[in-house]
Amino acid sequence: MELHWQLPAIIVCLQILLADAFLPPEERKCKYARIERLLRIRCYNLDLKEVPQNLKTSVEVLDLSYNRIKKLKSDSFQKYTDIKFLMLYENMILSVEPGTFEPLTSLQEIDLSNNGLTTIPLELFQLPRLRNLYIDSNELKSLDLNALEKPIRAPLEYLNIAKCELKELPDLGIMPKLWQLNASMNPLQDFKIDSLANLCHLRTIDLTKTQLSQCGCQQVTQHLTMLGASPQYVPVCMEPLDIRECPLPYNRTIHSATFASCQTSVELAETRSFWLFAAGCFGGVFVVLLVLLFCVIRCRRKRAQRRLRNAQQRKPFVISPRNAINNRKPEDEPLHCDTAHA
């Protein structure tokens, strides 16, 4: 094909490339889509150094993974209060300013894994809907949680703190809804069985590739067995230990006041949910009855108004003067009526 036939196509391609080059990076590359009716914006692997600020504010799933974000600022997510799922893994995040996550009251899941964080932003534990927290593969060697307000408000169900160089499990207080904890690949040399008393709903705990002592390993296995949970991801205890050297953990876990308090929290939450459900049902039935009553009253009112209009439109009748008393005809003669003229 000759060159002059190819020139128009080349010119069109150049125009498209130049037009894209002058667009902001986030508008040019971030991908918009719908996932189960949720608006997702995927800014994956775009070499971003901060959270973009001109995305659609109604975003519900925001993927900022595999970028070069080093710091999260207090205004990073102020525009995006509808976010439910936030992916920030594989960045270079070293610090998070106070108040960064406070606007995200709808947040259900956040992934901060594979960054350089040395502590967990405490405000995450006060988000009212946060269920899943991934903060594995960070530098959480020693956590300072003295300022953490307990009990935490977040209804955490899954917590991943694997590969963080932790020597003990962080004390987050009573977490009645947490059912899965991944603490694998941590040197849990200071592990204390008492910490599991806070987790009365625990069903799975991953302690693979940890440095648990033989006693700790045995105690965890016994604790999970008593709960009816799976010890599948607990290191195998190679040898049984004497109860005098490694006492059973029951009095320190499932028979402890902490465990009982955790169970009470679960029962209160279930009772509250039941009464909220019952109140919702009662309210729904009450509203339906009110609507039906309104419809009945409205129908009756319309019917009465229709009858009144028909009565007003009907021509009235008057007794004819021929039927007057002084001119009465014999009884067998029918009465005469005069129609009144409107």
Residues 6+ apart with CB under 8 A from 307: none
pLDDT at 293: 82
Q: Is the same domain home to 34 and 84?
A: yes
Q: Is the same domain home to 35 and 104?
A: yes
pLDDT at 330: 55
- Mean pLDDT computed over 308-330: 60
CATH of the domain at 61: 3.80.10.10
Residue-number span of the structural domain to which 243 is assigned: 157-273
Please, which residues bridge with residue 4 across strands?
none
> How far apart, in whole angstroms, are the C-alpha atoms of residue 262 and residue 173?
10
| Final residue before a domain boundary, out of 135, 167, 202 | 135
114 located within any domain: yes
194-230 pLDDT, tens digit per residue, is 999 999 999 999 999 998 988 999 999 999 999 999 8
Judge whether residue 306 has pLDDT over 90: no
| Final residue before a domain boundary, out of 255, 273, 291 | 273
> How far apart, in whole angstroms, are the C-alpha atoms of residue 98 and residue 96?
6
Question: Beta-carbon neighbour count of residue 207 at 10 Å?
Answer: 25
16-46 pLDDT, tens digit per residue, is 444 444 445 444 589 999 999 999 999 999 9
253 located within any domain: yes
Q: Is the same domain home to 201 and 127?
A: no
321 located within any domain: no
pTM for this predicted structure: 0.73
**Cβ 34 vs Cβ 41: under 8 Å:** no
Q: What is the total count of domains within the chain?
A: 2
229-248 pLDDT, tens digit per residue, is 988 899 887 777 788 888 88
58 located within any domain: yes
322 located within any domain: no
CA 129 to chain CA centroid, Å, is 5
183 located within any domain: yes
The label of the residue with tokens 């060159």 reads 3
| Final residue before a domain boundary, out of 135, 168, 190 | 135
Q: Is the same domain home to 129 and 207?
A: no
99-148 pLDDT, tens digit per residue, is 999 999 999 999 999 999 999 999 999 999 999 999 999 999 888 888 99
